[in-house]
Structure 1
Amino acid sequence: MAWRNRMSTTDTPPPFDNSPNALLVSASYDLSIRLWQLASGKCIGTIPHNEGQVNALSLTSTGRDLAVGAWQRVRIYDVSSGKDPKATIELPRNVTVVGFEAAGRWMYTGGEDGVCRIWEMRNNQLVANRLLSFSGNGVTSIVPNTNQTDLFISTNSGHVWIWDVVNHMFMRLPMPDDLRMQEYVHRLAVHPSGKKLSGVTNQGRLLCWDLMTRQVEAHSFDMFKSPIVPIEQDTGTYGCLRDEDRQHRMQTGHGISCRYSPDGKWIVASGSEKDVYVYNSETMDQVATLPTGCGWNWDAIFSSEGRYIFTGGDDNQVKIWDVINSKKVAQWDGHGKPITAMCMNGPTP
């Protein structure tokens, strides 16, 4: 199987990343956030979070700043300096998405209030200088394209959108005609080339779009005429849904997460199943199964070198899998309750 032959085997699992600054962060129902150093495989710190469930985590690429999204708040921590947040953002309702632009120049958030916000630091304060509202339809996922000027956004209304943040336009991507009642994309992922987009739905369906280069024509948007209200457009040219007649589904249950490998060859998908699945990103064929043994796997992330997959779920453990043979090579204990969110710094999409 090509999946198993992609690199030579080794008998020494750690380090899980050769960069000394590589971190994996996990949050749990036990009201703690743990920092794991991938070079050593050790927990190097714990941040208390006594405000309830953490829904989303994001690290800047340097690993210096950590954004934590939870109920009505986003807190930003300096990872190296201590426990107290360096900034707090108050928001209505649940915050479901947080993330940083690749260079850390701005941050985006989304939540159950149906608003996607872009934040920048001005006069030592975080200011939301761009907003896009989806009329109360909760935001389930946001991911920037590789150009860092387009944001892909999914909502619980069953739509996926492209937001051109430079020209302040948003357009709707095509969705399957047989979308089920109350089915929506729970997590989006962008291919490292920026030419493909994938998403996993709450019904366990894996979708993929082919994306094409787009030039915004000058007459299509008048920034001075309408500086606040975006122009909504359907697009059949920028993104087309691949293989509408084929069904790429997890075996049963609720899809929660999907992510590309750093080389873009594979997609890992997890959800409310004991297994985590790996797919070929070109053919969408299932190529590997990771038998985690826990009922809910809230996330699955490739290491920055693509050698390992990290999974976290309701058995309170972070598990590490060798992608060559789909075998578990290590597990990290420390959380007292199920893991609800994970993130890494670096190039992992």
Structure 2
Amino acid sequence: MLATLLPHDWFGERSTWLLIVVAVVAIAALIKGADWLVDSAATAAYRLGLSKIIIGATIVSLGTTSPEAAVSVMAAWAGNPGLALGNGVGSIIVDTGLIFGLGCLFATLPADRFVLNRQGWVQVGAAALLAAVCYTVFIMHGDTAAVGRAVGMVFAILLVAYMVISVRWSRRHPYGEPHLMADTPTQTDAEVLNFEGDALPIDTSVPMWSLICWGVAGLAVVVLASDVLVGSATELAERASVPQVVLAATLVAFGTSLPEMAVGLTSLRKGHAELLVGNIIGADILNVLFVIGFAALAAPLPLVDEPGMAGRYIFLWLHLPTMLLMLGFMRLCIIWAGPTGYFSRWMGVPLVVGYVAYVVIQLVATAGS
């Protein structure tokens, strides 16, 4: 990360203040980049005749998870494969528990049954497959168990199949369910409602090439600004003598999902809540098939930490069960939202509380490392 590469005495006694300025600038850039990405994605969805939740579950989620996949693959290739596996599962927990949970608390999120009963089951199925593979391999090989290249190849093939079938599903479901469309005589199909009830028009005159350019630029700014922000915050925390284990369980884990957080909250602010739901579902799927799958192709991913490390089995008894519980509860929320077509705000409470509990348990379990 850029900020962590800066020498501690680069700016003398004023370096801390300059890092704070860097963090503030990164936050501003993150907001602006998310604006560009969300506006481009929403307009492109309308222009292409695709629902925004489909765009969120495919194109946007692929973009926000690509840098994470690159980092995980490089970590596995460089001899730190354990980081890749924990990063993928941890990101699913952050996406589902924290980001989707906060989204439910902040707004009444739409539940598109067509997508949630298709991509939603792929989301749960991919996570269940990963858990089944991990526990089976551990039972067979014990402390030497690892997710091997053969599993990575299977995940890569499933990723291609998922992208292909998502395109086919999108053609059968071009604009979303009727209750997500404009429902007043004064609104057109090119308008949406934000969570405060204000109409936000979509500019349909922008050329497609311009939308692509602004979307790519927005994604690049989101990714780079997230990296700089987390790096700056980590450097500041280290100077304040915050323990490394706390940094690893909070700033670093949260930082890998910061692009999804920025895109999700911006989607709510700009009235495109379907993008948040789609992005979370798509990111969860891609964290298994894309991030973990490609990392496993680079190098086998061990399930157990080195002997003597505190919480060396934490991936098996905490990370995987928490991931399954989070996704299982989200699946129940989808079922409960079926009759109304919207997620209730109370659904966010168990998810956010569960995420906080997960972080606390992780800190306690690794306190001796």
Q: TM-score, normalised by structure 1?
A: 0.21
Q: Going by fraction, where is strand more abundant, 1 or 2?
A: 1
Task: Determine which structure has more spread, i.e. the larger CA radius of gyration.
Answer: 2
More helix by share: 2
Q: TM-score, normalised by structure 2?
A: 0.21
